[in-house]
Structure 1
Amino acid sequence: MRITFCTDLEKSVLVNNFEKRGWIHVNPEEEWNFYWAGMQTCRNLFGLESGYRMNDNQIINHFPNHHELTRKDLLVKNIKRYRKELERDGNPLAARAPNGKYLYLNFVPVTFVLPADYNMFVEEYRKNPQSTWIMKPCGKSQGAGIFLINKLSKLKRWSRESKTPFNPNLVKETYVISRYIDNPLLIGGKKFDLRLYVLVTSFRPLKAYLFKLGFCRFCTVKYDASMQELDNIFVHLTNVSVQRHGGDYNSMHGGKLSVDNLRLYLEGTRGKTVTDNLFKNITWLIVHSLKAVSYIISNDKHCFECYGYDIIIDNNLKPWLIEVNASPSLTSTTVNDRILKYKLIDNIISVVLPPNGIPE
C-alpha cells in the first residue's frame, strides 16, 4: 500500500520528507492517510458541522482543542488551575515558599488576562510600581501587537484608544499582561529565548518527546532595560519575524545558536552542575505544562502534535515558559535551519507511524 498525504503548507521541509518516503500527494477530498494541516483546516474538520469521521489509517497533526495549551490566556488559566488542584489534594509539588511563591511550579511569569483581571493586575502592580510588564494579544503570533508598559497611565491610554469611536460596544480583544523578565541571561550583551520542539502523541496517558536540536533566537540590538528603550522591539522581542527587519540582522546564522552550543557556553561560564540543573528544570517545566492540560485536551488517537516551546532563561539560570506555539514555523531562514527542520519532520514521522509506515 502506498501512503497518501495532503498538506496545506507547501513547505519544502515537509514535502521533501514525504516524497523521499515514496508517499503520494493527494487532495484533501481524496483518500488520504497523513494530513499535515493548518489550524483552520483542523477546526473545520473537527467542527460539528463537518461531521467528518476519520478511518483507522488516517492521522493528522493537531489535537481538536490544542488551543487549551497554545492560546496565551488559556495556557495561564490551565496552569493556575493545575497548581490549585494539586494544592487542594495536598500534593507536595504544590508546596509554597514563605513569600507565597510556588517552590516547584513557579515557571510562568505572573500573568493576568485583560480586560477580565484588570483589578487584580492593578493590585499586583501597586505592590511593585517600578516593575515592567509585557502586553500580548491572545490570538496573534510572531510578535504582532506586543508592547511593554511600566506605568499604569500607559495601560489606561491603551484601553481608551482601543475602543473604536464607530463601535464603542465592540468586545475588546483579550490580552495577557505578564511581568516582564527584566533580568534575562545575556550572551554578548543580547537577549535571547529558546525554541524547543515537543512532540505529543497522546495526552492520556501522556506521551511526549523532546527534540534534541532546539536553538536560541537572539535580538539584534544589545539589551538595555532603560526607559527610553522600552518601545524598541529589537531590544526586547526575540521573534525572527521581528528581528529580520532590524538593521543588524545577520542572514548567515539568522541570529540563532544551537542548544548544544548554548550548553557548552554555559558549562564554560557557569559550570556543569548549574547547566545540567537548568536543562533538568526545562524538562520539568515542559512536563508540567502538558500535565496541566492533559485532562482537557480531546485525546483523539488520530492526532499528534508538535509544539514550539518558547522559554526565556534569566541570569539566575531559571527557565520561564513564555508561550507554546501550535504551528511552529517551518520556514527556513538559514542552511542550518533547513537541516534542523528537515530532521525534525523526519523524526516526527518516524515516531508517529509504525515501521511499515501505515497509520493504524
Structure 2
Amino acid sequence: FNYLPKTYTQETIEEFKRYFKNYKISKNNLWLIKPRNSSLGNKIRFLKSVNDVRKNEIVTKYISNPLLINGKKFDLRFHVLVTGHNPLKIYVHSNGWAKVSSEKYDIDLDQLDNIFKHVTNLYLNKKNKNNFKVKESVVSFEKIKKYLKKEYKLNFSEIEKKVNDIIIKSIITMNHLEIKKENSMKLKSNNIYDLYGVDIMIDENFKPWLIEININPTLAEESLTLDRKKMLRQTLVDLFNIIGIVPYSHIDGKALEGEKKFKNYIEEAIQQSICEFTRPLGGFKRIFPLKSNIEIYKKYFKEISPINKYLWDTINNNLY
C-alpha cells in the first residue's frame, strides 16, 4: 500500500544495509531508526550511518514535507475498535486529538539531534523544559478541523475518508493471522475486542500517511490532560455499549440476559453481530463491513473465512 512510508524491518534490514552502504545524509533522503515494539518515542533518532542500526530496530523513510500547525509538526490519533476478526467488524471514534511537536519544524542537518522538532510524542516532548506547553501539544479534532479549514481550506471530512480507507486495509491484512491465533487459542471471536490507537501524519499535499498502529494505546488517566480524559472516558463508555457487556447477578453469578441456543457457531456469530449493529454507537461509526464497501474491500483479504462471507451476505440482503 502506498500510504505507508518505505520501511525495513528486522527481516529486511540486511537488504537495507546493502542498498545504503554508501548512505550520505541529505535533506531529501532522511530515515528514522525506531526500536521494535517500543513506545513513548524512546530511542527514535535519525539514521546517519547504516552502522547505527542495532538488532531489533526498524528503519523507516522520514516524511520531510509534513503539513504544519503554527509552524510545528503534528500527527492525528484515531481510536479504532475491532469487535472480533471472525467476522471482522471495524469502528472508528469521532473523538481524537492531534499530537504537536514542541518546537517549530525545519530540516537543519546540523540540528537533527533536536528531536523536539521532529517527533510528536507527548511523553518525549515533556522533556523539553523550555518550550513544552500541554495545551499546545494536544489539540482536539474539533480545533484541528477549524484550523485546517481556515489555514488550508481543507475539509477534515476528506481526510477522514482517506484515513478510514487506510484503517480498513491495514486491519484486513491482519485478518487471516488473527483468525489463526484465535483458533489456536480456542477463542470465540464474538467474545474478543481490540482497541487500537492509529497515528496518521498528513503531508503538505494533504496525503495521509500511516505512522503506526498502537496495540496498547494510552488509557491511564493520570498521564492525560483534562480534555483527553473527557474524550477517552466517552470513548470507553461507547466501547462498552457496543461490545455489549452483560450484567451479572451478585446472588448466583448468572448473566441477567436471557440465554439463546444456536444451531452452530456460524449462526451464533452472525446473530450476535446483528445484535451488535443495533446497539448505540455513541461517537463510534462502523466503517466495515457496510453494504456500500464489502465489494470494494473483500479483494484485500488473503483468505475469506466462511463466517465473514456469511455476514457479508446477510448485510447485502438486509439494511444492516
Q: TM-score, normalised by structure 2?
A: 0.68
SS of the equivalent of 1:199 reads strand
Q: State the alpha-carbon separation in 2 of the partners of residues 212 and 125 from structure 1.
A: 44
Q: Distance in 1 between matches of 2:21 and 2:73?
A: 24
Partner Cα separation in structure 2 for residue 181 and residue 272 of structure 1: 20
Q: CA RMSD in A?
A: 2.4
Task: Tell me if 1:240 matches 2:138.
Answer: no
1:296 aligns with 2:177: yes
Contact 2:17 2:50 in 1 (8 A): no
Q: Secondary structure of 1:347's match?
A: helix
Shift of the 304–271 alpha-carbon distance from structure 1 to 2, 3 Å rule, reads: same
1:200-259, CA deviations, whole angstroms, 9 ceiling, x for partnerless residues? Answer: 0022222011010110011111111110221112111111110111122223x2611111
State yes or no: 1:106 paired with 2:2: yes
CA contact (8 A) 1:254 1:334 kept: no
Instruction: Find the aligned partners of 1:285 and 1:121 in 2 and give their Cα distance.
Output: 29
- What residue in structure 1 maps to residue 14 of structure 2? 118
Query: Residue 326 of structure 1 aligns with which residue?
Result: 215
Which amino acid in the other structure matches residue 302 of structure 1? N
Whole-Å Cα distance in 2 between the matches of residues 127 and 144 of structure 1?
Answer: 24
Deviation at 1:180, TM superposition (A): 0.3
Paired position in structure 1 for 2:144:
262
Query: Hey, what's the Cα distance between the residues in 1 that align with 2:207 and 2:105?
Result: 18
Q: Number of residue pairs matched?
A: 238
In structure 1, C-alpha distance between the alignment counterparts of 2:108 and 2:203, rounded to whole Å: 17
- 1:133 aligns to what? 31
- 1:125–1:285 CA distance, 2 compared to 1 (3 A): farther
Among candidates 226, 233, 242, match of residue 351 of structure 1: 242
Q: Per the alignment, in what secondary structure is the counterpart of residue 301 of structure 1? A: helix
Q: Is the 8 A contact 2:63 2:203 kept in 1?
A: yes
What is the letter of the counterpart of residue 146 of structure 1? I
SS of residue paired to 2:239: helix
2:204 is paired with a residue of what secondary structure?
A: coil
List gaps (5 residues or longer) in structure 2.
183-188, 249-254, 260-320
Change (3 A) 1:127 1:232: closer
Q: TM-score, normalised by structure 1?
A: 0.61
Partner of 1:209: 91
- Partner SS for 1:197: strand
Q: Give per-residue Cα distances to partners, 1:88-125, cap 9 Å, x unaligned.
A: xxxxxxxxxxxxxxxxx311000011474322454278
Q: Counterpart in 2 of 1:177?
A: 59
CA separation in 2, counterparts of 1:235 and 1:128?
21
Give the aligned partner of residue 155 of structure 1: 50
Distance 2:176 2:17 in 1: 28
Are 1:145 and 2:40 an aligned pair?
no
User: How far off is 1:350 after superposition?
Assistant: 0.7
In structure 2, do the counterparts of structure 1 residues 121 and 350 end up closer, same or farther at CA, with 3 Å as the change threshold? Answer: farther
Q: CA deviation at 1:155?
A: 2.6
Name the CA distance, whole Å, in 2 between partners of 1:326 and 1:185. Answer: 26
SS where residue 202 of structure 1 aligns? Answer: strand
Alpha-carbon separation, structure 1, partners of 2:119 and 2:16: 26
